[in-house]
Structure 1
Amino acid sequence: MRLDGILFFPLTPFDGGGSVAEDVLAGHVADGVAHGAGAVFAACGTGEFHALDGAEHRRVVGTAVAAAAGRVPVFAGAGGPLPHAVACARAAAEAGADGVLLMPPYLVAAPEAGLVAYVREVAAATGLPLVVYQRDNARFTPAGAAELARIPTVTGFKDGLGDIELMQRIVPAVRAALGEQRAPAKDFTFFNGLPTAEVSVAAYAAVGARLYSSAAFCFVPEVALAFNRALADGDDALVRRLLTAFYIPLVQLRNEVPGYAVSLVKAGVRLRGRDVGGVRPPLQDPHPKHLAELEQLVSAGLETAGAAAR
């Protein structure tokens, strides 16, 4: 399955009682697809996968699949303890998802052979395409990434470490491993999975990872799309203006408090008029001072994107 365009990672709305608000989620996903998302990644990092139980995960993925209505692929998050990761992968297949984003196992530091075994067991639980997310305690060498790529249903590698030198070695190692197969090489995609990935998109593209996840698309799709089009058109001046007016200040604000990579996105969606509730502990909603700064950034980003369109 070949992915292209903006990768949309919808958040998970909660109602006043703290339950998943499926109707709000359906509207959020449908609007993202209508704005031109290339794929939907439901119940992943921005969607607070860490805070969902199994039943909630199934409801979130099922709602996203229904709202996307076959217009774009839907990937579902899985990860954590191996039995939970396997259950999430199976539930994703049952819900009609098109693939799985496999996040790190819970807490433990493990040898690379153990991490590869973890991926193999989740892959064996479903025939869905699987993208492996490298971050935190799930770190791979070029040889380990190549071994992952040889697993038949592993079709992508998403990096959230930000180690460009490592990725410069992983990409050719994976390509060489796939080229060694007797069968025609499968489609394999590398992703930039850093928070606010637009800031690092040029560095990742240079090593062969052109796709990126856009958290900003959740709350300022106009800005995210303008940035993505500017990249595609080679409009470096607009890319710089959007980075300066919106993305770099957003990173600075995001770094003020742990967890703001999710909390600010959810706050941004509320600022734009969709009642998605707050984040679940251990994350915390932004301080009023930071909310005011976010509102100013949203205005600046929209003005910059709007001026480019005029």
Structure 2
Amino acid sequence: MEFNGVLFFPVTPFTETDEVDVALLKEHIASRLPHGPGGVFPACGTGEFHALALEEIGTVVRAAVEVVAGAVPVVAGAGGPLGHALAAARVAEQAGADALLVLPPYLVGAPVAGLIAYVEAIADATPLPVIVYHRANARFTADAMAALAANPKVIGFKDGVGDVGAAQEIVSAVRATGRTDFLFFNGLLTAELTQGAYRGLGIPLYSSAAFAMAPEIATAYHRAYVDGDEDRRAALLEGFYVPLVRLRDETPGFGVSLIKAGLRLAGLPVGSVRPPLVDPTPEQEVRLKAILAKGHELAGAR
């Protein structure tokens, strides 16, 4: 499996009666495909996996698969309580997903051996390959990832912790197993801010929630990143991503809430986030609008 381009994590639109808006979801995904995403990740973090019922996960993944129509890989989320994670994996497979992103287990802390068993249980639930998400209460060691890499169905590692030393050890340990097909992703919030450093660790891929909100800006950054145009990349970081991160950090959960707000500002009525997340205040939306305007200005400048 290959990913060539920005990794697109769509939001899940909700209607005024709090149902998944399938038509709007398809429109959202279809409108981003011309910008060349390397893969589509429905019902994951930006898509509010934590707030979706099992049948809604199937609805979201099926809609993504139908719109993408095989153009790029579709990777669905599976995680939380083990029973729910296994069911989500099976629903995603039935909906036509190409792979799974294994999100952290629910609530409990666990020893590394237990985390390995959790990933392997999800991998065993379907024929789909899985990507491990290193985040929150799912923290894997280099030895653990080397052990998981022995399973050919485990095809990737996504870092959402931000410990660069640990990430480097994991990259080195997996490579030492001889796996040449293993994928490494930067999964930190607003990953563009840290991707320059992650490239140096041997982690070339990154998820982009910003792509869901402003594909022109995210694509301009990715093009500068791939081309080695450091002046342009720095201008986009300083003018758009740094102010966006400062606003994001004002309120927990804004890594998702701001993306939905940005889409609403652009005229796509994707609805609010579900609890426990909250929407930005009107004042925060005004600042977001200004940040987006600057980002579009920079993305259009050559």
| TM-score normalised to structure 2 length | 0.99
Counterpart of 2:3 in structure 1 is: 3
Do residues 19 (structure 1) and 19 (structure 2) align?
yes
- C-alpha displacement of 1:149: 1.2
Do residues 216 (structure 1) and 207 (structure 2) align?
no
- C-alpha displacement of 1:128: 0.7
- C-alpha displacement of 1:234: 0.9
Indicate if the aligned counterparts of 1:33 and 1:72 stay in contact, CA closer than 8 A.
Answer: no
Counterpart of 1:254 in structure 2 is: 248
Match of 1:265 among 259, 262, 270: 259
Task: Give the 4+ runs in structure 1 shifted more than 2 A.
Answer: none
- C-alpha displacement of 1:186: 5.1
Match of 1:227 among 198, 221, 230: 221
How does 1:120-199 map onto structure 2 within 5 Å? 120-177=120-177, 179=178, 185=179, 187-199=181-193
- C-alpha displacement of 1:145: 1.1
Cα distance in 2 between the residues matched to 1:70 and 1:168: 33
Counterpart of 1:182 in structure 2 is: none
Gaps in structure 2 of 5+ consecutive residues: none
Cα distance in 2 between the residues matched to 1:103 and 1:151: 18
Cα distance in 1 between the residues matched to 2:218 and 2:106: 31
- C-alpha displacement of 1:111: 0.3
- C-alpha displacement of 1:219: 1.2
Match of 1:297 among 269, 291, 298: 291
Partner SS, residue 42 of structure 1: coil
- C-alpha displacement of 1:167: 0.6
Counterpart of 2:38 in structure 1 is: 38
Aligned-residue sequence identity (percent) comes to 56
Counterpart of 2:274 in structure 1 is: 280
- C-alpha displacement of 1:148: 1.4
Counterpart of 2:197 in structure 1 is: 203
Q: Give the letter for the 2:106 counterpart.
A: Y
Gaps in structure 1 of 5+ consecutive residues: 180-184
Q: Deviations over 1:48-92 (max 9, x none)?
A: 000001010100000110011111110100100111111111111
Indicate if the aligned counterparts of 1:135 and 1:159 stay in contact, CA closer than 8 A.
Answer: yes
Cα distance in 1 between the residues matched to 2:98 and 2:32: 17
Indicate if the aligned counterparts of 1:155 and 1:186 stay in contact, CA closer than 8 A.
Answer: no
Indicate if the aligned counterparts of 1:130 and 1:156 stay in contact, CA closer than 8 A.
Answer: yes
Partner SS, residue 202 of structure 2: coil
Aligned length: 302
Partner SS, residue 194 of structure 2: helix
Q: Deviations over 1:234-293 (max 9, x none)?
A: 111000100010000100000000010000000011111111000001000001111000
Partner SS, residue 20 of structure 2: coil
Do residues 117 (structure 1) and 117 (structure 2) align?
yes
Q: Give the letter for the 1:209 counterpart.
A: I
Do residues 241 (structure 1) and 235 (structure 2) align?
yes
Counterpart of 1:74 in structure 2 is: 74
Cα distance in 2 between the residues matched to 1:213 and 1:222: 15
Q: Deviations over 1:171-229 (max 9, x none)?
A: 0101112x1xxxxx451100000010000001111010010001110111111000000
Q: Give the letter for the 1:81 counterpart.
A: P
Cα distance in 1 between the residues matched to 2:36 and 2:168: 30
RMSD over aligned Cα, in angstroms?
Answer: 0.8
Q: Deviations over 1:127-146 (max 9, x none)?
A: 11100100000001100111
Q: Give the letter for the 2:165 counterpart.
A: E
Cα distance in 2 between the residues matched to 1:192 and 1:153: 20
